Chains A and B, each alone.
Chain A
Amino acid sequence: MLEIKNLHVKLEEEDKVILKGVDLSIAPGTVHAIMGPNGSGKSTLSYVLSGKGGYVVTDGSATLEGVELLEMEPEARAAAGLFLAFQYPVEIPGVGNMTFLRTAVNAQRKARGEEELSAGAFLKVIREKAKALQIDAEMLKRPVNVGFSGGEKKRNEILQMAMLEPKMCILDETDSGLDVDAMKLVSEGVNALRGAGRSFLVITHYQRLLDHIKPDFVHIMADGRIIKTGGPELALEVEENGYADIVAEAV
């Protein structure tokens, strides 16, 4: 599904190298988790994959189903099936959540040569999916993420993911700032999307989330590289001992 090879990234504005050769291969239908200390480059990886500006790829490649991602506009990557649930979802005053979602869904359908969803059809689908995430009609009417609590923002990300039905989902610390109930809700939302060959890359600090969303592989990222890969037991090890030993071992 997603193949990242020897990815090197630096900042555009300053000469700071952030990703120093990331290799990662995600097969269809699998769930991969990335853990790692703050500042190791996890969010940068997710941004570079989804096409945020401000970064320069100095080496390497990333392909989605064989298609080179790094040359594409962000909207084209989305239409190709990539989705990023933001660590910090952006507030957009003046744009209604519903309008935003409908615009996004139809833009992607259009880009893929599919017919746009009618207002009625869209409403039916979104009501159902919002309900499962306990997002009420009021929240759908409000401007995108404006005045949302941390938990509401994260649930809203999952709603977008559910509406857009991407192939490759990246979740950047979707669990941070969530209480136990909200975490459960979000995990159920994610798990409902599993299957159908859909792949996940889950960035998290906590084993907790991985109790709900069971990963097939766990990777540890430090200083711009993936320094260790293992099964779910690796997350437990991190939970017990932190990153220090793993990082020391890798040096």
Chain B
Amino acid sequence: MAQLHAKQAKQDALAARLAGLDLPKGGWSAQARGAALARLSDMGLPGKRDEYWRYTDPAALNAVAPQPSDALRAETPIFTGKDKVRIVFVDGVFDAAASDPLDLAQVEITLLSQADAQDVHWAKPLYGTLEAVGQTPVPRPFAALNTAAAQEGLLIRVTGKAPRPLHISYRQTSNTSDVMLHHCVKVEDGAALTLLETGIAGARSNVVMEVQIAANGTLHHIRPQGRAHGKHLLTHIFARLAQNALFKSFTLSMNGRLTRNEAVIEFTGHDATAHIAGSAVGDGNFHHDDTVFVTHDAERCESRQVFKKVLKNGAVGVFQGKILVKQGAQKTDGYQISQALMLDDDSQFLAKPELEIYADDVICSHGSTSGAIDENALFYLQSRGVPKRAAQSLLVLAFLAEAIAEIDDEALAEDVRARMEDWLARHEGK
């Protein structure tokens, strides 16, 4: 009875949500959108009782209208020292004037809204496909909703080694913007790209990125999500890796009322590598959730999850991470660490690390810890003349270092580190 009731509530929430949306009919994407809608009708929107939403309340994401964000503050640009091709979305709408020409050697870049009208497009078999695969064993309704309803996104096809990074820059100008973007990234055999994703897409954003990396392909993804406090943000990365492929994704989260970053990674070719890492810092009204699901379905692949959170004044951190090693995925190397540094007694870290292993010759490890600043280290630094606050910042940065070290490009890593230092300086003391 209670279950029936919960199911009905999920359906009702979905009906209300869909009624509030202007669903695009789509050109070639119509079929994928229709299928997503069918999947979604089956699932309904998440409820608080769903195991997968135990630590994070989906209410603000379910709501028909987004909660208005705080007064908008301009985000300081990051990665300014890098020569890159920048594409700007303002409240989810492509801004041609602010963007560079969509012109990057070895990379085809199209807007979803424009491509959809074409008869044939390489993205057709990809759009919504990895999202659909990622619905088992755990349903991810908001990702299906995104496939069905996204008005815009980028379709990025990498055919060789891109000489410069591609930069997706989000800007928010309305404190009620409700944004859904759906990106597809296809990295062909031996091709390579660095993809930067910065800023906040809207007051409430739902961003899906489907990533398919062919043999020997490489994708580096670095994503500082912007520091607005009022944002509600949900992202999904669905990545599928062929043999020898490399995918490294790093996310920096500062502030935000609700952020949930999901990554669903699947190894289908042998000897591939995926590293998913993140640093999150929150002070006060902050809820940050990293939810990761890695499926090893091929031999000798390496997956690594490194998540670090710094929490204070009642901030909440969540980590749900799973490594699934299927039968036959021998010599899998799976590593997972999630750690929280609590700067006071008011904050909370909820972690659910999981391993599910059906192959016998694998190395998998996971660890989850939460703790305070090491008082002995703090005193040691002070006794050398480093002022307490600076010493604290140094130790916080040291705590985050393992995650930031997942960024291969030293200049980009340095920019991320500087962002962290800025944040720490602003949030020193109580």
Expressed in whole angstroms, the Cα–Cα distance for A228 and B390 within the complex equals: 42
**Chain B nearest CB: distance from A199 CB in Å?**
17
Taking CB atoms, residues of chain B closer than 8 Å to A107 are: 384-387, 390
Taking CB atoms, residues of chain B closer than 8 Å to A79 are: 385
| Chain A, residue nearest B384 (CB) | A104
User: What is the 8 Å Cβ interface bit string for chain A, positions 57-101, against chain B (1 contact, 0 not)?
Assistant: 000000000000000011101110001101001111111000110
Taking CB atoms, residues of chain A closer than 8 Å to B391 are: 75
Whether A92 touches B395, Cβ cut-off 8 Å, given contacts A104-B384, A108-B385, is yes
Taking CB atoms, residues of chain A closer than 8 Å to B30 are: none
Expressed in whole angstroms, the Cα–Cα distance for A38 and B387 within the complex equals: 32
Q: Please state if A92 and B399 are interface contacts (CB–CB under 8 Å).
A: no
Q: Is B80 engaged at the interface, CB distance under 8 Å to the other chain? A: no
Q: Is A103 engaged at the interface, CB distance under 8 Å to the other chain? A: yes
Whether A75 touches B380, Cβ cut-off 8 Å, given contacts A92-B395, A95-B394, is no
Taking CB atoms, residues of chain A closer than 8 Å to B402 are: 94
Expressed in whole angstroms, the Cα–Cα distance for A52 and B382 within the complex equals: 9
Whether A94 touches B397, Cβ cut-off 8 Å, given contacts A86-B380, A89-B380, A103-B390, is yes
Q: Please state if B383 and A111 are interface contacts (CB–CB under 8 Å).
A: no
Partner of B398, one of A52, A84, A93: A93
Expressed in whole angstroms, the Cα–Cα distance for A160 and B394 within the complex equals: 18
Q: Please state if A75 and B394 are interface contacts (CB–CB under 8 Å).
A: no
Q: Is B136 engaged at the interface, CB distance under 8 Å to the other chain? A: no
Taking CB atoms, residues of chain B closer than 8 Å to A111 are: 385, 387
Interface residues of B in 376-416 (CB under 8 A from A): 376-377, 379-388, 390-391, 394-395, 397-402
Whether A92 touches B375, Cβ cut-off 8 Å, given contacts A103-B386, A107-B386, is no
Q: Please state if A90 and B382 are interface contacts (CB–CB under 8 Å).
A: no
Expressed in whole angstroms, the Cα–Cα distance for A74 and B384 within the complex equals: 8
Chief secondary structure at chain B's binding surface: helix
Partner of A104, one of B386, B400, B401: B386
**Interface size counted on chain A using CB atoms at 8 A:** 32
Partner of A78, one of B383, B397, B401: B383
Taking CB atoms, residues of chain B closer than 8 Å to A92 are: 374, 377, 380-381, 395, 398
**Chain A nearest CB: distance from B384 CB in Å?**
4
Partner of A90, one of B376, B386, B388: B376
Partner of A75, one of B376, B386, B395: B386
Expressed in whole angstroms, the Cα–Cα distance for A203 and B105 within the complex equals: 67
Taking CB atoms, residues of chain A closer than 8 Å to B394 are: 95, 99-100, 103
Partner of B385, one of A89, A91, A104, A143: A104
Q: Please state if B399 and A94 are interface contacts (CB–CB under 8 Å).
A: yes
Q: Is A189 engaged at the interface, CB distance under 8 Å to the other chain? A: no
Q: Is A164 engaged at the interface, CB distance under 8 Å to the other chain? A: yes
Expressed in whole angstroms, the Cα–Cα distance for A100 and B380 within the complex equals: 11
Q: Please state if B395 and A74 are interface contacts (CB–CB under 8 Å).
A: no
Expressed in whole angstroms, the Cα–Cα distance for A111 and B382 within the complex equals: 13
Whether A84 touches B383, Cβ cut-off 8 Å, given contacts A94-B402, A103-B394, A107-B390, is yes
Q: Is A51 engaged at the interface, CB distance under 8 Å to the other chain? A: yes
Give the residue among B386, B394, B400 with the most A Cβ atoms within 10 A.
B386
Partner of A53, one of B375, B377, B384: B375
Kindly list the 7 A-B residue pairs having the minimum CB-CB distance in the complex, ordered from nearest.
Answer: A94-B398, A78-B385, A74-B382, A104-B384, A108-B385, A90-B380, A94-B401
Can you give 9 A-B contacts (C-beta < 8 A)?
Answer: A51-B383, A75-B382, A75-B391, A78-B384, A92-B377, A94-B397, A103-B390, A103-B394, A111-B385
A sample of 13 more A-B contacts (CB under 8 A), given A74-B379, A79-B385, is A51-B379, A73-B382, A83-B383, A84-B383, A90-B377, A92-B395, A92-B398, A94-B400, A103-B386, A103-B394, A107-B385, A111-B387, A164-B384
